[in-house]
């Protein structure tokens, strides 16, 4: 048999070209530097020697290993074996397995090669920090790369190099930034998620392996898809960490990007656009919307747009972009209407409502509350029921999870009595919103009533609005439209809702949520 090929500690499965090959691993490879994905069957970006030690084929004294190339698969598991923790990987294009070679005469030769990396006692210190990454740069980032015919294969490769350099300089690590890649072309393709890799080296491998797709540059479609699908908790997004999409655009998009920008802002995603080779004066006629950059970015304040004249000589652009991505105090879109509002519900418990209709009111409140991210640092919900008296069902600080809030709403008991709406608004402003006055969240009051109030509503509603509370009024059955408009914030048309029947409340849920989000975004512009 042929002599085995000598390889380094870091040679990967994908570096070998033959279907089956015998290789010689050196001794004393630093175990903590191995990247190994899977167990038994390893993703081809794994270190061969790392996989062989993990599998028990050799020890850290080195030796010969037979490597068999295998097709790619999904779900490579994470397993701890022989001092090496392999990592999970959702899928990879090719794999390999490692076994003993039949011929062990060469083991001794393997040892003599081992002096290549003398181990100095100090060595392992730094990489432990390296694993944690740059703790000062907290961000979950999706690089949305251009894979269209606009950019072509050659510039696509230059783009990959640039993204790789940015990824390395960011300082990716378990406690630092996490990144993933989505390729925009005719249809978007999520290449890898935030959870797939937590070290710069692995991300670099993965970027190197990306294939060019071609097709139209439907950047709008890809941006919307990324904003909606990429940042879920199960895909590795972390709570309370800014979400960022960096859109790379060669030329201009083939589709509309404005709506995608709005969706991204609603989802709390900070969109950056890196445009390369802007359209020339002659080309502008072909561009659907000349101000596409301004409409897609998080804020049109200059911070979120970035220009490079060409894909050549881009090294000097790496650091300024990284500095932007790491300034989390500038991520103005991380606050969304879903995670940064206090919503107080003022519920009419008068005798004209009746028990079964009261249940429909509670269902309406639950369905509105469900849309928001309720937590101690997120959105908060409170509820007060009123007749002639006011009963605080629960305050903003009583429950900090969605489950507990929904359970508290279900448990509200119907009071029955008269209707003093004005007094109830004053009670709510003073006792429920009062303690939240200087908090970070925007305050909203949703009033539900089915009839005429016995007292003045205009004065208390004006006082609530003066205290920074946006008021939505929802009337049912006999609620007079004049009262509803007097209570509602400006513009009154979009803050006043009415339905003849209690069953009509259900249809209003999306409009109330949209109204709250619109007011929230307007207040931030």
> Are residues 142 and 246 in contact, defined by beta-carbon separation less than 8 angstroms?
yes
Mean pLDDT calculated for residue range 149-154: 89
CA–CA distances in Å: residue 470 to residues 142, 361, 444, 497, 513:
35, 20, 5, 14, 13
Query: Could you tell me which residues come within 8 angstroms of residue 268 by beta carbon, excluding any fewer than 6 positions away?
Result: 243, 333, 334, 335, 336, 338, 339
Classify residue 174 as exposed, middle or buried by CB count within 10 Å of its CB (0-12, 13-18, 19+).
exposed
User: Which tens digit of pLDDT belongs to each residue from 357-381?
Assistant: 999 999 999 999 999 988 876 899 9
Q: What is the spatial distance between Cα 290 and Cα 278, in angstroms, rounded to a whole number?
A: 10
Among 315, 184, 311, 287, CA closest to 245: 184
The larger pLDDT score, comparing residue 34 to residue 157, is at: 157
Q: Is there a shared CATH topology between the 5-100 domain and the 341-522 domain? A: no
Beta strands in 48-122 (DSSP E): 63-76, 80-81, 84-85, 89-99
Query: At residue 185, does pLDDT exceed 50?
Result: yes
Q: What is the spatial distance between Cα 253 and Cα 196, in angstroms, rounded to a whole number?
A: 28
Q: pLDDT value at position 280?
A: 66
To the nearest 10°, the Cα dihedral for 133, 231, 254, 302?
A: -60
Highest mean pLDDT among 272-281, 459-468, 509-518: 459-468
> Are residues 114 and 28 in contact, defined by beta-carbon separation less than 8 angstroms?
yes
Going by pLDDT thresholds of 50, 70 and 90, the confidence category of residue 121 is: very low
Considering only the C-alpha atoms of the chain, give the largest distance between any 2 of them, rounded to a whole number of Å: 100
As its CATH architecture, domain 5-100 has: Beta Complex (2.170)
Give the pair of three-digit tokens for residue 114.
């081992």
Q: Which fold, 341-522?
A: Rossmann fold (3.40.50)
Q: pLDDT value at position 385?
A: 98
Lookup result for tokens 């490597």: 67
Lowest mean pLDDT among 50-59, 388-397, 421-430: 50-59
Neighbours of 234 (CB within 10 A): 7
Query: At residue 160, does pLDDT exceed 50?
Result: yes
Average pLDDT, the chain: 88
Query: At residue 283, does pLDDT exceed 70?
Result: no
Give the pair of three-digit tokens for residue 409.
């709403």
The larger pLDDT score, comparing residue 85 to residue 446, is at: 446
Q: pLDDT value at position 108?
A: 35
Mean pLDDT calculated for residue range 391-405: 95
DSSP string, 412-452: PPP------HHHHHHHIIIIIIGGGTTSSSEEEEEEEESS-
Query: At residue 112, does pLDDT exceed 50?
Result: no
Classify residue 28 as exposed, middle or buried by CB count within 10 Å of its CB (0-12, 13-18, 19+).
middle
Mean pLDDT calculated for residue range 494-507: 96
User: Which tens digit of pLDDT belongs to each residue from 478-493?
Assistant: 999 999 999 999 999 9
Lookup result for tokens 């970006």: 45
Q: What CATH class is the domain 140-330?
A: alpha beta
Query: Could you tell me which residues come within 8 angstroms of residue 423 by beta carbon, excluding any fewer than 6 positions away?
Result: 386, 388, 390, 455, 460
Give CA angle at 168 (164, 170), nearest 5°: 115
Q: pLDDT value at position 51?
A: 93
Neighbours of 267 (CB within 10 A): 18
User: Which tens digit of pLDDT belongs to each residue from 302-350?
Assistant: 889 988 989 988 989 999 999 999 987 678 788 778 888 999 999 999 9
Query: At residue 119, does pLDDT exceed 50?
Result: no
Q: pTM for the full model?
A: 0.52
Instruction: List beta partners, residue 307.
Output: 275
Query: At residue 106, does pLDDT exceed 70?
Result: no
Query: Could you tell me which residues come within 8 angstroms of residue 441 by beta carbon, excluding any fewer than 6 positions away?
Result: 340, 341, 342, 379, 380
CA–CA distances in Å: residue 49 to residues 61, 62, 65, 73, 255:
11, 8, 8, 21, 47
Share of the chain above pLDDT 90, in %: 56
Beta strands in 283-415 (DSSP E): 305-308, 341-348, 380-386, 390-394
Helix (H, G, I), strand (E, B) or coil at 174: coil
Q: pLDDT value at position 281?
A: 66
Strands 243-250 and 496-499: unpaired
Mean pLDDT calculated for residue range 460-475: 98
Indicate the domain borders of the chain. Answer: 5-100, 140-330, 341-522
């Amino acid at each position: 048999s042929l002599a085995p090929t000598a390889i380094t500690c870091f040679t990967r499965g994908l570096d070998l070209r033959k279907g089956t090959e015998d290789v010689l691993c050196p001794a004393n490879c630093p175990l903590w530097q191995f990247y190994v994905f899977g167990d038994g069957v390893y993703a081809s970006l794994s270190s061969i020697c790392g996989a062989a030690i993990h599998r028990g084929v050799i020890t850290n004294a080195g030796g010969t290993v037979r490597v068999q190339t295998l097709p790619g698969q999904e779900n490579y598991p994470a397993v701890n074996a022989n001092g090496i923790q392999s990592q999970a990987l959702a899928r990879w294009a090719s794999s390999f397995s490692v076994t003993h070679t039949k011929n062990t005469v060469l083991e001794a030769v393997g040892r003599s090669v081992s002096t290549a990396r003398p181990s100095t006692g100090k060595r392992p210190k730094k990489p432990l920090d390296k694993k944690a990454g740059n703790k000062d740069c907290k961000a979950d980032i999706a690089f949305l790369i251009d894979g269209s015919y606009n950019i072509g294969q050659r510039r696509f490769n230059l783009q990959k190099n640039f993204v790789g350099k940015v990824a390395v300089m960011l300082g990716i690590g378990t406690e630092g930034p996490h990144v993933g890649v989505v390729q925009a072309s005719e249809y978007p393709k999520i290449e890898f998620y935030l959870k797939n890799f937590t070290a710069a080296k692995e991300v670099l491998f993965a970027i190197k392996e990306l294939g060019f797709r071609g097709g139209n540059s439907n950047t709008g479609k890809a941006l919307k898809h990324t904003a909606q699908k990429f940042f879920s908790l199960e895909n590795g997004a972390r709570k309370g960490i800014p979400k960022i999409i960096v859109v790379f655009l060669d030329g201009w998009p083939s589709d509309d990007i404005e709506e995608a920008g709005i969706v991204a802002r609603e989802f709390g995603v900070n969109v950056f656009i890196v445009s390369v080779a802007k359209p020339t004066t002659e080309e502008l006629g072909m561009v659907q919307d000349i101000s596409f950059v301004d409409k897609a970015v998080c804020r049109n304040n200059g911070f979120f747009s970035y220009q490079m004249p060409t894909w050549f000589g881009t090294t000097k652009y790496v650091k300024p972009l990284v500095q932007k991505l790491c300034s989390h105090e500038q991520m103005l879109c991380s606050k969304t209407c879903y995670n940064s509002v206090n919503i107080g519900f003022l519920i009419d418990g008068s005798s004209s409502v009746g028990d079964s209709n009261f249940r429909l009111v509670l269902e309406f409140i639950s369905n509105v509350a469900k849309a928001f991210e309720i937590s101690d640092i997120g959105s908060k919900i409170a509820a007060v029921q009123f007749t002639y008296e006011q009963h605080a069902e629960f305050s903003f600080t009583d429950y900090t999870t969605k489950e507990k809030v929904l359970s508290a709403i279900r448990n509200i008991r119907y009071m029955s009595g008269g209707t003093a709406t004005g007094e109830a608004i004053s009670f709510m402003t003073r006792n429920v919103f009062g303690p939240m006055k200087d908090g970070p969240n925007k305050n909203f009051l949703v009033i539900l009533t089915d009839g005429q109030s016995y007292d003045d509503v205009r004065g208390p509603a004006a006082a609530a609005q003066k205290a920074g509370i946006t008021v939505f009024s929802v009337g049912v059955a006999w609620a007079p439209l004049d009262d509803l408009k007097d209570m509602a914030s400006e513009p009154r048309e979009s803050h006043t809702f009415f339905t003849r029947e209690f069953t009509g409340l259900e249809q209003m849920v999306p409009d109330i949520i949209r109204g709250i989000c619109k007011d929230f975004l307007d207040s931030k512009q």
